[in-house]
Amino acid sequence: MFSKDVYINRRKKLQAKVKSGIILMLGNNDSPMNYADNVYHFRQDSTFLYFFGIDLQNHAAIIDLDNNKEYLFGDDISLGHIIWMGPQPTMTEKAAQIGVENVKPMAELSKMVQEATKKGRKVHFNPPYRGENIMLLSDLFEVHHSKVKEMPSLELTKACINIRSIKEPCEIAELESHMATAYNMHTTAMKMAHAGVTEQEITGALEGVSMAGGGMVSFPIICSKRGETLHNHDHSNTLQNGDLLLVDAGSESPLHYATDNTRTIPVGGTFSQRQKEIYQIVVDANNISREATKPGVQYREAHLVASKVIAAGLKDLGLMKGDVDEAVAQGAHAMFFPHGLGHMIGLDVHDMEDYNDTLVGYMDELPRSTQFGLSALRLGRTLEENWVVTNEPGIYFIPALIDTWKAEGKHTDFINYDKVESYKDFGGIRLEDDILVTKDGCRILGERIPIEVEDVEATVKSGK
């Protein structure tokens, strides 16, 4: 938990942005794996964690905007709970840690919400994503659960996005310190990437590194020699020399701030010439798009910078042809780069996307593109100082996509399908860093994980 003043100041900012009514924030509860007492690892709701800081189950909060009062709801634990789970601070002690004066038992939450509703006061809450909270809101407002999705407050959601987008010094320090764990995870994967090792063995080792470093993984690990599948969670393959292993993995810090990095590794420690050529294009796209990442620049423009580097590099190899700018404008390059350059990162690995990814990434500033590839860009907005974003260009050879576009005759002025056919067994390459937007530009958080060809090859070979 950060200092009490951090949470007080965050709530003051929120109260200044939401006009009237009450703000309702629900924490998360345990979620059973297969029966009630065997639960998944608890993860608190990020919005509740951000404004109220309590990383425990069965809490809720209300901010009464009209009367300038804050309430923390929850119950002191029973002796039976203490026997199984150990002692916890009292509700009064927890409230004092975050600067909240009023404490209520959980049973009174419904009473306060229903009283506000009867008086015609607006009850603001963010879009729920967990079934139990959807059902709780259904009960609180006496509506069918299917109607709850229509009820979240756009005013509150926009205010939360505005506040949480800019990372405070304490958040940046937390993110920066945990990058050592990210570095350890990815260099561990490199050192293990040898013939005869399974993807599952590496995945297990990385989860162990994450837990040893302070927290669970920030998303299910992608560790696959079939890197052309963007979110490949299958770990059933055994590595062989000549394979490329794509590892997209992150860790949560003790305060739940996420890392998210990707490296693509030559199994055995030596890139083939063909692999090296494609890999270097992605390195260049990563570095050049990072140079374009600065305050006042739309991240959509940084994405297009990366796209043009990729198209130009593929043209040099004979895989694309024609005018590079026009190829990118028409989306021809997206057959090789079908996702966006990056997204926000913070308390969530895709920060705040539980609210709505288009709202977070675009707000009212610009419309989200409908063009294939560009439509997958999760962040297009104008960058501001102290935003934290990912920078993750990639090149992929997806046989099904290649076959479909070829059969449809798509972008034949820009894609050399005959040459592309010989790359259908290639796989995919993605290279991802976590970036802090600074006053004049940006910088990579933490020590950069090996990315240059020689450094990656040396790291892999050091694990023999």
CATH number, domain at 42?
3.40.350.10
Q: How confident is the model at residue 376 (pLDDT cuts 50, 70, 90)?
A: very high
Mean residue pLDDT of the chain comes to 97
Out of 137, 165, 193, a domain closes at: 165
What is residue 301's predicted lDDT score, i.e. its pLDDT? Answer: 98
Same-domain pairing of 200 and 110: no
Q: Is the pLDDT of residue 25 over 90?
A: yes
What is residue 195's predicted lDDT score, i.e. its pLDDT? Answer: 98
Yes or no: say if 434 and 176 are a contact pair by the CB < 8 Å rule.
no
Q: 239: Cβ–Cβ under 8 A, 6 or more apart, which residues?
A: 193, 194, 195, 196, 197, 198, 199, 225, 245, 267
Same-domain pairing of 134 and 174: no
Same-domain pairing of 67 and 87: yes
Same-domain pairing of 135 and 192: no
Out of 140, 165, 190, a domain closes at: 165
CATH number, domain at 355?
3.90.230.10
> Rounded to an integer, what distance in angstroms lies between the CA atom of residue 163 and that of residue 146?
29
Same-domain pairing of 132 and 218: no
Residues 92-99: what's their mean pLDDT?
97
Same-domain pairing of 144 and 278: no
**Strand-pair category, 261-266 with 22-26:** unpaired
> Rounded to an integer, what distance in angstroms lies between the CA atom of residue 312 and that of residue 323?
9
Residues 350-359: what's their mean pLDDT?
96
> What is the pTM assigned to this prediction?
0.95
What is residue 81's predicted lDDT score, i.e. its pLDDT? Answer: 86
* Angle (CA) 406 262 243, round 5°: 60
- 287: closest CA among 306, 270, 272? 306
Same-domain pairing of 129 and 239: no
Same-domain pairing of 201 and 154: no
Q: How many domains does the chain have?
A: 2
Tracing tokens 């993605």 back to the chain, one arrives at: 430
> Rounded to an integer, what distance in angstroms lies between the CA atom of residue 132 and that of residue 406?
46
Domain that holds residue 40: 4-165
Q: Is the pLDDT of residue 80 over 90?
A: no
Same-domain pairing of 131 and 155: yes
Q: Is the pLDDT of residue 84 over 90?
A: no
DSSP 8-state secondary structure symbol assigned to residue 246: E
Beta bridge partners, 25, equal 61
Same-domain pairing of 231 and 151: no
Same-domain pairing of 38 and 93: yes
Buried b (16+ CB within 10 A) or exposed e, 406-434: beeebbeebbbbeebeebeebbbbbbbbb
Out of 141, 165, 189, a domain closes at: 165
Query: What six digits make up the tokens of 418?
Result: 């005959």
Burial label, 273 (beta-carbon count in 10 A; 0-12, 13-18, 19+): exposed
pLDDT single digits (tens) 145-170: 999 999 999 999 999 999 999 999 99
Q: How confident is the model at residue 119 (pLDDT cuts 50, 70, 90)?
A: very high
Same-domain pairing of 12 and 39: yes
pLDDT single digits (tens) 435-448: 999 999 999 999 99
Q: Is the pLDDT of residue 455 over 90?
A: yes
